[in-house]
Structure 1
């Protein structure tokens, strides 16, 4: 029975580690620089493949963001069912926001195609709508989605800290990194900062933690003495 629980825990750890890496990789490839440019209404339609590729990788992020807390739930719920369930809930919420972000991106592509047909006629209305869509996408991707997933990570890392399923230095790193990432999203939401160096610096700790945790889980797995 102990060996069965150990094998199950090992399998869950590896899958979780792989999903964390998938989340990082797909997040990088989902970036669409064209949308952030000044001439995005023209460039979006001429770089359609770039937008569609970004949308595809953004959809793949759903697998990671929702999958991580779900895969870990059977193990974490044995120690704190409330926090484990909350982590799953926030992971699902993050997945929903990711899909909304993809829809907004595709709407921007459609708007760009329509702008190319119209030309210079009624430019202001296209710019206004495009600006609203870009602002909405930034809020969905960098505020709503980030907050939801970071909160999911914060909850399961609280369980990690309590149980020592992974070394406590990893859990403490996560708690600090999550706090900084939440702060970054809130400051962005109130327009105190933009998608600039400050925002990136505040998110770097949790991003590196995600990578280190993934590698740890794949190589070391969970502490067998605390799996339960």
Structure 2
């Protein structure tokens, strides 16, 4: 009996840890020097900040891909197609994160090139840098966010149907996912920027992710409903 309980709790604890890793890595993946006005001049002098951001994004790959994979054996018992869709979106999110890392490192390379050329001779570097930074924003805040939030939407849908976590927590996840999708779409069509409106729309899903992680680590899934 004790072995069965530990076996049931293991996926919950792993999922909770992955969700926490995703949140923490997401915070450290922010690279203020790249988002600033003088990013080409300053990125090369703040290389450690850029590299920490890149490594943090790679940790996000583990979290974003790992979460739906760990949940799949449990969720597929209730709805195999939805669980598989969650895994697919998680993997897609991981691919987009890697693309974002590559763009970030290219921006660092451009910054070094800009420093060597000087501002007066680096107009083409500035043009290319602007395009890369725009592409990074779209990859990070539209493609990656949409993919992982869709993964969360799907597994929260199963959570809601099966009650393997408290219903209020799954409802918060469904609401937060919807608002986060809305934020990415509004950013994509330029109705909002990476401003307070964007951040506010993403707060509910971040809160749900944090609370869900703590709940799973401390309490696990409802074993009666998980069977």
- Normalising by the residue count of structure 2, what TM-score does the alignment of the two structures yield? 0.98
Whole-Å separation in 2 of the counterparts to 1:70 and 1:7? 19
Q: Which residue number corresponds to residue 32 of structure 1? A: 31
Q: How much does 1:102 deviate?
A: 0.2
Matches within 5 A, 1:1-228: 5-228=4-227
Whole-Å separation in 1 of the counterparts to 2:219 and 2:179? 27
Q: How much does 1:6 deviate?
A: 3.7
**Which piece of structure 1 moves more, 150-159 or 2-11?**
2-11
Structure 1 gaps, min length 5: none
Whole-Å separation in 2 of the counterparts to 1:154 and 1:20? 14
The answer (yes or no) to whether the contact 1:180–1:202 under 8 Å persists in 2 is yes
Structure 2 gaps, min length 5: none
The answer (yes or no) to whether the contact 1:42–1:112 under 8 Å persists in 2 is yes
Whole-Å separation in 2 of the counterparts to 1:52 and 1:214? 27
Whole-Å separation in 1 of the counterparts to 2:26 and 2:146? 15
Q: How much does 1:122 deviate?
A: 3.2
Q: How much does 1:121 deviate?
A: 3.9
The answer (yes or no) to whether the contact 1:66–1:92 under 8 Å persists in 2 is yes
Q: How much does 1:125 deviate?
A: 1.3
- Normalising by the residue count of structure 1, what TM-score does the alignment of the two structures yield? 0.97
After superposing on structure 2, the runs of 4+ consecutive aligned residues of structure 1 that deviate more than 4 Å are 2-5
Q: How much does 1:124 deviate?
A: 2.3
The answer (yes or no) to whether the contact 1:166–1:223 under 8 Å persists in 2 is yes
The answer (yes or no) to whether the contact 1:13–1:217 under 8 Å persists in 2 is yes
Q: Secondary structure at the match of 2:30?
A: coil
